[in-house]
Amino acid sequence: MKGKFITFEGTEGSGKTSVIKEIKTHYENLGFKILTTREPGGIRISEQIRSILLDKNNQEMDPRTEALLFAAARRQHVVEKILPALEEGYVVICDRFVDSSLIYQGDARGIGVDKVYDINYFAIEEALPDLTIFVDVRPEVGLERVFSTPNREVNRLDLESLEFHKKIYKGYLGLVEKYDRIKKVNGENPLDKVVNDTIALIDQIL
């Protein structure tokens, strides 16, 4: 690939979106071609799947259905948007990617990380990130942000129990230990500190 693929991960309310916005501006000012996108979503078909996945009325959704829908949205996103941009030399920055599925469905839902990895490997083939930033925010702190931020969308996953979110957090810490491509920044610091720490990590691959 001519470009670089960078993903951001974190618990609900970790501040990924705010960090990504600042990162995009920083690197565009330096002359890089930057494409930001999100999962689930990023393109029309995947956004339609997102609306099903995050609908608060779909509480009866089976965990494997959930995992398959995330993988389906990801497949379309990869082939339609991410890979073409990488071929054109863009730095693609994605808010969530395959690691979210490994943790949310594989670990917290109890399907099994390996099974969810297999589903997603079929979906993305070799399109793994060059770098993944885990914005480290404890679930109690993140959920407080979610429910205290005016006009923030509260979705089906936000409404899961605190124990569910603690599983998510523990799972992410395990991935940081397992994969060299995943680097951690302290998301409980002030935004400018989080952004500067993130830039220091991205500079290493750019």
Over the stretch 119-168, which tens digit does the pLDDT of each residue have? Answer: 999 999 889 999 999 999 999 888 888 777 777 776 677 777 788 889 99
Q: Which domain holds residue 157?
A: 4-203
Q: What is the CATH number of the domain that holds 110?
A: 3.40.50.300
pLDDT tens digit string along 19-60? 999 999 999 999 999 999 999 999 999 999 999 998 889 999
165 close to 146: Cβ distance less than 8 angstroms = no
- If one counts the domains in the chain, the total is 1
- Listed in order, strand segments (DSSP E) in the chain are 4-9, 34-38, 91-95, 131-136, 182-186
Distance CA(200)–CA(191), nearest Å, equals 14
C-alpha 50: how far from its chain's center? 13
